[in-house]
Amino acid sequence: MVFQGSYTALITPMRNGAVDEDAFQRLVDWQIKEGTDGLVPVGTTGESPTLSHAEHHRVVELCIEAAAGRVPVVAGTGSNNTQEAITLTKHAAEAGADAALVVMPYYNKPTQEGMYQHFKAVQDATDLPIFIYNIPGRSVVDMKVDTMARLYELPNIAGVKDATADLARVSLQRHFMGPDFIQFSGEDATALALMAHGGHGCISVTANVAPALCAQFHDCCLARDFTGALTIQDKLMPLHAALFLEASPAPVKYAANVLGLCEAEIRLPLVEPMEWTRTHVREAMAHAGLIDSADVGRSEAAE
């Protein structure tokens, strides 16, 4: 299976404290129709830290069911508990996922050897392709290139979602692992540069609300049309920034609500974004052509 292009790090719609299954499956269907190349349920953007195990399993199953084989599904299965990560990955495989995204063990602060053994244990327990999710900003620890190279020698380690924003890392990883090591950006704002350095795509937050533009952007990048990609980047950059003015996924859930895709509801300890952030999100959405500029100044009362 080819893993490349625009993959959406899906939000998990909620209503009255529960997963909104209908809204989630409508979102999946809309994503595919808009040109999204792949789907990533229950990652950080999907609020995996505050989903129960039963909810986590259900969201993966709902995504696979709604996708119906039209695009790859890369299920988020990471944990700082190695056994839990193995259990989640096994479930994803049984449910029919095409790959798993496994985040760096957060909070525990493992050494490089600890990281290696964690990912080795997960990949040893499954036949699914495994993507390492390297995001030091949330996990505190950062996997070094030589550790990643060791892991790539194992049969099921397929690539990385790189959210380090260190663009030199992309070329170094390409040098040590070769061009077949799949490198997804985990940072919408730097995806253009990552693609120019030999990347394969982006696991995107912005694609939740701008799937067609994100897909077109990656089509340009994969065709090496970086002039065309830059034109789309200029449209999307304010939105990339606005969606991280507060802890994600609160702003992107708000943006999805503006588009009528789902409620903006989010679970504690995260809260819905402040009005200042909401205004900036609407301005960025208008800049990208997702809503009419007349909607930018509307009051919260009008919502």
- Answer whether residue 284 is part of any domain: no
| Beta strand spans in 43-147 (E) | 74-76, 99-103, 130-134
Q: What is the pLDDT of residue 230?
A: 98
Reported as a single tens digit per residue, the pLDDT across 29-70 is 999 999 999 999 999 999 999 999 999 999 999 999 999 999
Domain total in the chain: 1
Reported as a single tens digit per residue, the pLDDT across 165-197 is 899 999 999 999 999 999 999 999 999 999 999
Q: Is 181 left (phi over 0), alpha (psi -120 to 50) or beta?
A: beta
Mean pLDDT of 129-138: 95
- Answer whether residue 292 is part of any domain: no
- Answer whether residue 163 is part of any domain: yes
* Rounded (10°) CA dihedral 285, 266, 89, 164: 50
Enclosing domain of residue 179: 5-223
Write the CA distances from 58 to 12, 41, 244, 297, integer angstroms.
11, 10, 27, 38
- Answer whether residue 207 is part of any domain: yes
Question: Which residue reads 């609500």 in tokens?
Answer: 257
pLDDT band at residue 302 under the 50/70/90 scheme = very low
d(C-alpha 251, C-alpha 273), whole Å: 6
The CATH number given to whatever domain includes residue 48 is 3.20.20.70
Reported as a single tens digit per residue, the pLDDT across 86-117 is 999 999 999 999 999 999 999 999 999 999 99
Q: What is the average pLDDT value for the chain, to the nearest integer?
A: 96
- Answer whether residue 25 is part of any domain: yes
Q: What is the pLDDT of residue 298?
A: 61
- Answer whether residue 281 is part of any domain: no
- Answer whether residue 125 is part of any domain: yes
d(C-alpha 200, C-alpha 131), whole Å: 13
Reduce the DSSP state of residue 131 to 3 states and report it: strand
Q: What is the pLDDT of residue 301?
A: 39
Catalytic, out of 106, 116, 152, 161: 161
pLDDT band at residue 303 under the 50/70/90 scheme = very low
Reported as a single tens digit per residue, the pLDDT across 259-300 is 999 999 999 999 999 999 999 999 999 999 999 987 787 644
Q: What is the pLDDT of residue 299?
A: 46
Sorted by sequence, the CB contacts under 8 Å of residue 192 that are 6+ apart come out as 217, 221, 226, 229, 230, 233
Q: What is the pLDDT of residue 79?
A: 95
CA-wise closest residue to 78 among 37, 108, 112 = 108
Catalytic, out of 7, 106, 133, 152: 133
Is residue 133 part of the annotated active site? The answer reads yes
- Answer whether residue 273 is part of any domain: no
Reduce the DSSP state of residue 129 to 3 states and report it: coil
